[in-house]
Amino acid sequence: MTTPRGHVLLLGKIHEDAMQLLRSHHELTHEVLEKPAEDEIFSRLAQADALIVRTAQLSAELMDNAHQLKIVARHGVGYDNVPVEVLSRKKIPLATTGNANAITVAEHALYLILTLAKRGSAFDRAMREGDWESRNRLQGSEISGKNLLLVGFGRIGREVAKRALAFGMRVHVFDPYVNSEQVSESGATPISNLEDFLPDTDFLSLHLPFTAQNRHIIGAAEIKALPTTAYVINTARGGLIDEEELLKALDAGELAGAGLDCFEQEPPPRNMELFSSDKVVFSPHNASLTAECTRRLGLVCVENVVDGLTGRLQRDRVVNWEAVYS
């Protein structure tokens, strides 16, 4: 087995078990920058052979000056903070953590669906205020028999479908990049036209990456097409939903509620207008940050670094495989 050699730069802390794995490779040195400024990244990146990145934004200029870099390992599956085109041009693979977070994020999506349907936040708040009579005034709803529309059917979307089907939901999938037979085999129903199914949707859950094409894929027209009883859930990426139009619909009673784990600006400003709505359940983009998943993410990142430095990367984890290895 080839021994990995070089210097690893970590932008953000990873799980201690993953750090122990990194330290076990004695020919590797490493440095952790917890909350680095861009100029600090710039100077340190020049000496790095491998990079592990969490949420730090990497500019094209930064990556252009990483002259000895051989592998970038993203702590997660999204990579909108990494200039992939620069890495591809420089023949540097970008590896993600594959399915390491799929179950955890799927569970979080179900948590948001259930909290919204059962009016969890409202009942919790009422109880803390001594409002026992809320039980006769507020009503939750069942999710069994309800239409769940998944936009995106990758690793996470498929795990959401499994769990939703177990709850008796009718699962429908819009994903033009996935074969309809695959969707049907999972027990879900493929949808060829997003707009056509929106009026029949009870819960809409997003599971796709943020790209220029996907920006505001749920915008004014899509929100208007949903029933007033519908809920929108986003555990994917900020920017997929037009937040301004979402708030308008919530305030006007044109939408029942939303569950949001990610936002157009992160962290969102404290005066973000959506915070004024009691119809939204919020979480701080932590859908994948359970104890178990954080450990898996860190371990897979270190595996990807070692594999990248020894020429053994797994193809299904590399975003730009064809650009790098063709």
**245-283 pLDDT, tens per residue?**
999 999 999 999 999 999 999 999 999 999 999 999 999
**Pick from 115, 284, 109: which is nearest to 207 by CA?**
109
Give me the sheet containing 50-53, strands edge to edge. Answer: 28-33, 6-11, 50-53, 71-74, 94-95
Asked if the structure places residue 12 within a domain, the reply is yes
Catalytic residue selected from 16, 61, 266, 292? 266
CATH of the domain at 22: 3.40.50.720
pLDDT at 36: 86
197 and 254 co-located in one domain = yes
Asked if the structure places residue 257 within a domain, the reply is yes
Q: Average model confidence (pLDDT) for the chain?
A: 96
Is the Cβ–Cβ distance between 119 and 173 less than 8 Å? no
| Number of domains making up the chain | 2
Asked if the structure places residue 1 within a domain, the reply is no
81 and 200 co-located in one domain = no
**Pick from 265, 266, 226, 215: which is nearest to 248 by CA?**
226
Asked if the structure places residue 72 within a domain, the reply is yes
Identify the three-state secondary structure at position 267: coil
Name the pLDDT band for 1 (thresholds 50, 70, 90): low
Asked if the structure places residue 274 within a domain, the reply is yes
Residue 179: which residues within 8 A CB-CB, separation 6 or more? none
Catalytic residue selected from 15, 30, 285, 317? 285
Is the Cβ–Cβ distance between 33 and 7 less than 8 Å? no
Helices (H), the chain: 16-23, 38-45, 60-64, 84-89, 102-117, 120-128, 134-137, 155-166, 180-185, 194-197, 220-225, 243-251, 291-309, 321-325
Asked if the structure places residue 145 within a domain, the reply is yes
Distance CA 72, CA 176 (A): 29
Is the Cβ–Cβ distance between 201 and 180 less than 8 Å? no
Least confident of 26-30, 34-38, 299-303: 34-38
The boundaries of the domain holding residue 321 are: 6-100+291-325
Count other C-beta atoms under 10 Å from residue 105's C-beta.
25
242 and 309 co-located in one domain = no
Asked if the structure places residue 92 within a domain, the reply is yes
27 and 153 co-located in one domain = no
pLDDT tens track for 68-101: 999 999 999 989 999 999 999 999 999 999 999 9
The dihedral of CA 252, 229, 212, 54: what is its sign? positive
274 and 296 co-located in one domain = no
**pLDDT over threshold 70, residue 9:** yes
pLDDT at 255: 98
169 and 183 co-located in one domain = yes
pLDDT at 37: 87
Distance CA 278, CA 122 (A): 8
pLDDT tens track for 207-241: 999 989 999 999 999 999 999 999 999 999 999 99
The dihedral of CA 222, 228, 233, 237: what is its sign? positive
- Matching residue, tokens 């500019």: 59
pLDDT above 90 covers a percentage of the chain that reads 95
| Partners of residue 190 on adjacent β-strands | 173
201 and 151 co-located in one domain = yes
Residue 294: which residues within 8 A CB-CB, separation 6 or more? 14, 15, 288
Catalytic annotation present for 245: no
179 and 251 co-located in one domain = yes
Distance CA 228, CA 198 (A): 11
141 and 257 co-located in one domain = yes
Catalytic annotation present for 273: no
Output the CA angle 171-176-178, nearest 5 degrees.
Answer: 70
Is the Cβ–Cβ distance between 27 and 3 less than 8 Å? yes
Distance CA 192, CA 161 (A): 17
Asked if the structure places residue 140 within a domain, the reply is yes
**Pick from 253, 141, 149, 259: which is nearest to 199 by CA?**
149
166 and 271 co-located in one domain = yes
Count other C-beta atoms under 10 Å from residue 231's C-beta.
28
Residue 291 in tokens: 């104890």
**pLDDT over threshold 90, residue 2:** no
Mean pLDDT of 272-301: 97
pLDDT at 35: 87
118 and 266 co-located in one domain = yes
Catalytic residue selected from 15, 207, 237, 317? 237
Residue 64 in tokens: 């252009």
Catalytic annotation present for 26: no
165 and 237 co-located in one domain = yes
pLDDT above 70 covers a percentage of the chain that reads 100
Residue 201 in tokens: 């949707």
Output the CA angle 15-91-66, nearest 5 degrees.
Answer: 65
